[in-house]
Structure 1
Amino acid sequence: MKLIERIGLSALHKMDPETAHGVALKVLQKGLAASHGPVSTPRLRTTVAGLDLPNPVGLAAGFDKNAEALVPLSNSGFGFIEVGAATPRPQPGNPKPRLFRLTEDQAAINRFGFNNEGMEAIAARLARRPANAVIGLNLGANKDSSDRASDFARVLAHCGAHLDFATVNVSSPNTEKLRDLQGKAALSALLTGVIDTRDTLERRVPVFLKIAPDLSDAEIRDIAEVARDTGIDAVIATNTTLSRDGLKSVFKDETGGLSGAPLFEKSTRVLARLSLLLDGDIPIIGVGGIATAEQAYAKICAGASAVQLYTALVYGGISLASDIARGLDHLLARDGFDTVAQAVGSKREDWL
């Protein structure tokens, strides 16, 4: 991390976390953050769910909820970016404060509640997206919707023409009863509706499913079965956790989803179990607690075809994406892998 970025992070950490987040987005929009450009090598280039990625390090949903910084983010070293979550109608989300920085734990707790400007505003920005980037949208449901399952399909129908992939997000803990849609019957019906909508689009958009880390073995088996039956293109494992084990921060008891370093082991174990069940038939994107190239590599070796990060940027800055991608290239070469795909699942047993 360069000195200027270190100074900037220090200043942001003196602000309220949500205010700091907004300032960081504005800095990106104005082009004041360093542009690292695409990071790629023959070893890093990979294909996931039919998407050609320059590298397997992605930005997770939640950082750019309203697709406001597509150009600078696409030049920040990420192999792909995911924006949103987007709901059919705008909604303010939960009351503030709703974001907490757990510095001692290198973590964050949020209870945003799908605050966003709605699919129409987000689609308008996606229509002006950079053509050479890989951009996906996290699909959400309005809190007061009478048919949450249909909300996901509505957002995809409205925004699909501008997307490279779309993620069905039923794993946020901050919208009441949303995680109930992870049940086998409800999830199967929801995904079938989304895929039916996808099939009406002029261009096929891969559909991903994002799951929670707080699942039993039986629930993970159900999700694997539904994933196969519905024909989704990838699973993102995982969203934030409700667990508070081992936290030190004074904010540890705040309500919401926990992300960052404490999630790494839990999410990686879910990833490995799911990888065993899917057996390479459906790719997995590993998320949760990644802050170093070694952790990104561990997710890949546990069964992930690509990875995403977000919370680590709070502590490591935007340059972290390119640092992790370059470090990952070195680790793959060290272990004799010519491609990312060769490493996927190579140490899965360590996590089972």
Structure 2
Amino acid sequence: MSALERLGLAALHRLDPEVAHGLALKALRAGLAPAPGPVTSERLKTTLAGLRLPNPVGLAAGFDKNAEAVAPLMRAGFGFVEVGAATPRPQPGNPRPRLFRLSADRAAINRFGFNNLGMETVAQRLSRPRGDGPVVPVGLNLGANKDSADRAADFARVLERCGPYCDFATVNVSSPNTERLRDLQGAEALSALLQGVMDARATLPRPIPIFLKIAPDLTFGDLEDLAAVALERGVDAIVATNTTLSREGLTSAQAAEKGGLSGAPLFEPSTRVLARLSQVTRGLVPLVGVGGVGSARQAYEKIRAGASAVQLYTALIYGGLSLVGEIVRGLDGLLERDGFASVSDAVGTGREAWLG
């Protein structure tokens, strides 16, 4: 991290977290953030559900909810970028304050509630030319309006509108901040929802991969049911995991705030879920590891636990955007150290250590 980036982060941390987040997006759009382009090597190049990635480290949804900074994020070193979540209609989300830094835990709690400008604005922004910079896959996280009469149908509506401008889309039924949204992870409800999304995909001029994002707070039986539905409906990848409702081991004063916890404390529980899911799915569907990734070692652990690629977000609050390149270069070194010729060769090689 440069001295300038360190000063910038220190200044942002003196502000309200949501205000700081907005300023960070403005800085990106103004070209004030590092823009090294995607870091890559022959070891790092990989595929995810048919998508060609220069490296397996992606940006998780939530950082750029409204597709404000797609082009600069494509130049930030990520191998792929996910924006959103977008809902059919704009919605303000939950009242402020709704984002909390837990600096002592290198974590965050949010209860945003799918605040976004709606699918029309997001579709217009995704349809814009992205300049002459690096081309990395850009996906959209699909959400549902809080007051929708048919939340399951909302996911298909957003896909129909925005799908022509995305390289993949993620069905997000795992946010803890929209009441009863996680009920859609039940086998029967999820099956019907995914069928609607797949029907919507069939209408797109260019069919795109569909990912499913799950919660970390699931039993082994829940995971088995969910995996069976995902495989039956032809989901192209499963993202494990979203934020957690657990507060185990936290020391920060704001640990009792309601919402989803992300960051360092999520690394171990989300990686255990990832490993179990890898065991249950038997390699039949690729997995994306999310939760607590803040270093090359942690990205590598996710891959060895069964992930074909990883995503991060909260770690950027503490490590800045230059962290992306540090993680990718460090991951390349770890793969080389252990004799792996490619990312795919390392996937799942350390899974058993997480299954105890």
Is the TM value for this pair above 0.5?
yes
Runs of 4+ aligned structure 1 residues displaced above 4 Å come to none
Q: Is the 8 A contact 2:87 2:158 kept in 1?
A: yes
Partner deviation per Cα, 1:276-300 (whole Å, 9 max, x = no partner) = 0111110000000000000000000
Shift in Å at residue 130 of structure 1? Answer: 2.5
Which residue of structure 1 lines up, in the alignment, with residue 118 of structure 2?
A: 118
Which residue of structure 2 lines up, in the alignment, with residue 265 of structure 1?
A: 268
Partner deviation per Cα, 1:1-22 (whole Å, 9 max, x = no partner) = 1110000000000000000000
CA distance in 2, matches of 1:12, 1:171: 29
Equivalent position SS for 1:277: helix
Equivalent position SS for 1:176: coil
Q: Is the 8 A contact 1:91 1:142 kept in 2?
A: yes
Shift in Å at residue 227 of structure 1? Answer: 1.1
CA distance in 1, matches of 2:296, 2:345: 17
CA distance in 1, matches of 2:220, 2:283: 19
CA distance in 1, matches of 2:258, 2:144: 20
Q: Does 1:189 align with 2:192?
A: yes
Which residue of structure 1 lines up, in the alignment, with residue 107 of structure 2?
A: 107
Q: Is the 8 A contact 1:109 1:259 kept in 2?
A: yes
CA distance in 2, matches of 1:317, 1:129: 26
In structure 1, runs of 5+ residues without a counterpart are: none
State TM-score, norm by structure 1.
0.99
Give the aligned residue type for 1:124. Q
Shift in Å at residue 36 of structure 1? Answer: 1.4
Q: Is the 8 A contact 1:44 1:329 kept in 2?
A: yes
Shift in Å at residue 98 of structure 1? Answer: 0.1
Give the aligned residue type for 1:83. V
Shift in Å at residue 322 of structure 1? Answer: 1.0
Q: Does 1:230 align with 2:233?
A: yes
CA distance in 2, matches of 1:101, 1:304: 27
Equivalent position SS for 1:25: helix
Which residue of structure 2 lines up, in the alignment, with residue 169 of structure 1?
A: 172
CA distance in 2, matches of 1:247, 1:124: 41
Q: Is the 8 A contact 2:212 2:237 kept in 1?
A: yes
Equivalent position SS for 2:212: strand
Shift in Å at residue 187 of structure 1? Answer: 0.4
CA distance in 2, matches of 1:200, 1:65: 25
State TM-score, norm by structure 2.
0.98
Q: Does 1:293 align with 2:296?
A: yes
CA distance in 2, matches of 1:125, 1:62: 16
CA distance in 1, matches of 2:5, 2:263: 20
Partner deviation per Cα, 1:161-183 (whole Å, 9 max, x = no partner) = 00000000000000000000000
Identity percentage over the alignment?
A: 68
Shift in Å at residue 33 of structure 1? Answer: 1.0
Which residue of structure 1 lines up, in the alignment, with residue 63 of structure 2?
A: 63
Q: Is the 8 A contact 1:41 1:54 kept in 2?
A: yes
Q: Is the 8 A contact 1:70 1:129 kept in 2?
A: no
Give the aligned residue type for 1:80. F
Q: Root-mean-square deviation (CA), in Å?
A: 0.7
Once the two structures are superposed, the pairs formed by residues 27-176 of structure 1 within 5 Å of their partners are: 27-130=27-130, 132-176=135-179
